[in-house]
Structures are given as structure tokens and as C-alpha cells.
């Protein structure tokens, strides 16, 4: 049996709110920006956007920062060109679209399996 290519899950938390403006106000990021991101990523990879409103806390300049997020996720072939595509996309598109200093990407090795319901004809 031929070996299947290694895969990684790509996880990109996307903020629901812009960073604070000069008055300390954080405004909601427009839904269209999330839909545009999902559309662009799906032109190259199969991806999902989880609208679950999770909360994350991370540190910036030593201070904790709270972010409410949506999670962009994809399972891709683990190649250097695919990882580089995500790095470029985050830097050139996502940082600008969501007006962020940085975008966090996690690459997690996975073994994906498709489990079939045998009671339903394929």
C-alpha cells in the first residue's frame, strides 16, 4: 500500500475586534473580511472558519492581551511550499486586512481519517 503524504492542520486564530484605536476603543471587524479570507484560502486549500467566538490571552511587550477570535482551519499536505504560502498570506494579506501587528499560525501534524457511516450508501 502506498504511503500517504504527511499532513498538517493549519490553525489561524483571527481576531473579532480590531486593536485599540487612539481613543482606546476596539471596533468589530466586518464579517465580510472573514468571508473574503475563507474564499481566498479555499481557492488553494479546503478550509473552514469556526465562528465559535473563542477567547485567547497572549502577551505583547510582557502585558497580557485578551482577544475574542474566530478560528480559520485547514488540513494541508506538509510541504515547504504550502507552509511558505501560509506565511506569505498571513504577512501580506491577513496582517493588513485585520490590521494586526502579527498573525499567529500553528502547524500541527495530523493523521486524518474519514469515517464512513455504513448505514448510508456512498
pTM over 0.85: no
Determine the structural domain holding residue 48 and report its residue range: 7-110
Cα–Cα distance list, 55 to 13, 50, 67, 101, 112 (Å): 10, 13, 6, 18, 26
The CATH code of the domain that includes 16 is: 3.30.70.120
pLDDT value of position 55? 86
C-alpha angle 86-89-91 in degrees, rounded to nearest 5: 110
115: in domain: no
68 in a domain, yes or no? Answer: yes
Reported as type and span, the H/E element at residue 85 is helix 80-89
Give the pLDDT of residue 1.
46
118 in a structural domain: no
> Is the predicted pLDDT of residue 33 greater than 80, yes or no?
yes
**Structural domain includes residue 88:** yes
Collapsed DSSP state (helix, strand, coil) of residue 115:
coil
pLDDT on residue 47:
92
Instruction: Report the chain's mean pLDDT, rounded to a whole number.
Output: 89
Provide the number of structural domains found in the chain: 1
- Does 59 fall in a domain? yes
Amino acid at each position: 500500500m502506498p504511503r500517504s503524504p504527511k499532513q498538517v492542520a493549519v490553525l489561524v486564530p483571527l481576531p473579532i475586534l480590531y486593536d485599540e484605536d487612539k481613543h482606546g476603543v476596539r471596533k468589530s471587524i466586518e464579517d465580510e473580511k472573514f468571508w473574503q479570507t475563507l474564499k481566498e484560502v479555499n481557492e488553494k486549500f479546503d478550509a473552514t472558519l469556526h465562528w465559535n467566538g473563542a477567547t485567547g490571552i497572549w502577551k505583547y511587550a510582557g502585558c497580557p492581551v485578551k482577544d475574542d477570535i474566530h478560528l480559520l482551519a485547514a488540513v494541508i499536505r506538509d510541504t515547504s511550499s504550502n507552509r511558505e504560502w501560509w506565511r506569505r498570506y498571513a504577512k501580506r494579506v491577513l496582517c493588513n486586512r485585520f490590521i494586526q501587528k502579527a498573525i499567529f499560525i500553528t502547524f500541527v501534524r495530523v493523521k486524518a481519517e474519514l469515517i464512513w457511516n455504513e448505514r448510508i450508501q456512498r
